């Protein structure tokens, strides 16, 4: 079943791309306009009108290719994405270095229209194509005792100007708790708008965790490790005071240097103005994952 959730795209016939989305009945995430509107807070700001492919591929964070928003689009053509393999190791039944096609063989590609909220307080709405992370984990067989999933990005120093300049400690690494990784909202994305993932967005495969700040959605993945230890994460290593392991979108917990209460939606038109940021980025069904945790402490 590629389409699990209701289509709530009410403005989906504005552009040709959006009309295409409407035809394909791309999903509006697990809560749509109606639910948000009834809840009152977010209101019609969040009609989930997708950003254009141009916006999604020209305003990026991919520090391996530089720190400017247009650096990835300018420099990521140098990323070599074929052949591509992913090393799966740690507490799994079937460890190994898998050719990407082999790892994904037999798993269904789904279409997910998700909000995407960067910790820098900008946001987009992105129509991903991807495979549920749970499908991949079930395929490789998670062993009992595994509690976390660690991810690693490729390093191609000769092709990556940001790596040459050491703007961050590479390889970029990220991690999720196992229950977060297994949540049906968590996908490994291979495309946007039914086109192969652009290099600057993390070709050929990147993580997407829509209720967390965008930096959790690690790009161009070559390593997946199942572990019983909380794995290190790049931004936490760079600045532990500002970036925690969980990094759930939370409008009530400000970044030490700016407010997280609102966000700037990239793109023009009706939705250009600043809008309220939603708890869990508007995916309240993940709240049960954090029962008993104080999310002002576990940031």
172 belongs to the binding site for ligand MTE (CB under 6 A): yes
Tell whether residue 118 is a contact of ligand MTE (CB under 6 A): yes
**Rounded to whole angstroms, how far apart are CA atoms 253 and 261?**
8
| 259 and 274 Cβ atoms separated by less than 8 Å | no
Q: Minimum Å distance from CB 288 to ligand MTE?
A: 26
Least distance to ligand MTE, CB of residue 211, Å: 14
> Which residue in the set 45, 51, 153, 233 belongs to the binding site for ligand MTE (CB under 6 A)?
153
Cβ burial of 23 (10 Å; 0-12, 13-18, 19+) is exposed
Candidates 62, 151, 211, 283: give the one binding ligand MTE (CB under 6 A). 62
Q: Does 152 bind ligand MTE (CB under 6 A)?
A: no
Which 8-state DSSP code applies to residue 45?
A: G
Q: Round to whole Å and give the CA distance between 50 and 44.
A: 14
Please tell me whether the peptide bond between 103 and the residue prior to it is cis, using omega within 30 degrees of 0: no
Helix (H) or strand (E) holding 222: strand 221-227
The percent helix, strand, coil of the chain (3-state, each to 5) is 30, 25, 45
**Closest CB to ligand MTE among residues 63, 98:** 63
SS3 265: strand
For 60-113, give the DSSP string. Answer: ---GGG-SSTTHHHHHGGG---SS-EEEEEESBSS-EEEEHHHHHTTPPPEEEE
- Nearest residue to ligand MTE on Cβ basis: 214
φ, ψ dihedrals at 136, nearest 5°: -70, -45
Residue whose CB is less far from ligand MTE, 183 or 219? 219
Question: Closer to ligand MTE at the Cβ: 46 or 174?
Answer: 174
The nearest distance, CB 277 to ligand MTE, in angstroms, is 14
Contact by Cβ (8 Å): 48, 265: no
Q: Which is nearer to ligand MTE, 35 or 222 (CB)?
A: 222
Least distance in Å: CB of 139 to ligand MTE? 23
Which parts of 269-288 interact with ligand MTE (CB under 6 A)?
none
Q: How far is the CB of 60 from ligand MTE (least distance, A)?
A: 3
Contacts of 261 (CB under 8 A, 6+ apart): 251, 252, 254, 276, 277
User: Is position 260 an interface residue for ligand MTE (rule: CB under 6 A)?
Assistant: no
7 vs 81, beta carbon nearer ligand MTE: 81
Q: Which is nearer to ligand MTE, 153 or 186 (CB)?
A: 153
Least distance to ligand MTE from the beta carbon of 193, Å? 13
Residues 186-245 that bind ligand MTE (CB under 6 A): 201-202, 214-215, 217-220
CA gap 276, 175 in Å, rounded: 27
Is residue 31 involved in binding ligand MTE (CB under 6 A)? Answer: no
Q: Which of residues 32-61 bind ligand MTE (CB under 6 A)?
A: 60-61
Which residue of 12, 31, 47, 63 would you call a contact of ligand MTE, by CB under 6 A? 63
Binding site for ligand MTE (CB under 6 A): 60-64, 118, 153, 172, 201-202, 214-215, 217-220
């Amino acid at each position: 079943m590629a389409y699990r959730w209701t289509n709530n795209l009410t403005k989906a016939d504005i552009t040709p791309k959006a009309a295409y989305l409407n035809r394909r009945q791309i999903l509006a995430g697990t809560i749509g306009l109606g639910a948000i509107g009834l809840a009152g807070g977010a209101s019609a700001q969040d009609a989930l009108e997708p950003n254009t492919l141009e916006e999604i591929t020209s305003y990026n964070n991919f520090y391996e290719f530089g720190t400017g928003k247009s650096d990835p689009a300018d420099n990521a053509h140098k990323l070599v994405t074929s052949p591509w393999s992913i090393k799966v190791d740690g507490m799994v039944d079937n460890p190994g270095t898998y050719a990407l096609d082999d790892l994904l063989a037999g798993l269904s590609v789904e279409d997910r229209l998700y909000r995407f909220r960067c910790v820098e307080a900008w946001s987009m709405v992105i129509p991903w194509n991807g495979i549920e992370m749970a499908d991949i984990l079930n395929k490789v067989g998670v062993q009992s005792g595994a509690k976390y999933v660690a991810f690693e990005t490729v390093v191609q120093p000769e092709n990556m100007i940001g790596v040459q300049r050491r703007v961050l400690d590479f390889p970029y690494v990220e991690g999720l708790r196992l229950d977060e990784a297994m949540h049906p909202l968590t996908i490994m994305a291979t495309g946007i708008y039914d086109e192969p993932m652009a290099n600057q967005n993390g070709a050929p495969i990147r993580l997407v965790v829509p209720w967390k700040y965008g930096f959790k959605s690690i790009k161009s993945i070559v390593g997946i490790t199942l572990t019983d230890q909380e794995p290190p994460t790049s931004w936490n290593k760079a600045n532990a005071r500002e970036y925690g392991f969980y990094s759930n979108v939370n409008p009530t917990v400000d970044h030490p240097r700016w407010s997280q209460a609102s966000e700037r939606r990239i793109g023009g038109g009706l939705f250009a103005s600043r809008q309220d940021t939603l708890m869990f980025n508007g995916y309240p069904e993940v709240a049960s994952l954090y029962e008993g945790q104080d999310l002002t402490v576990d940031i």
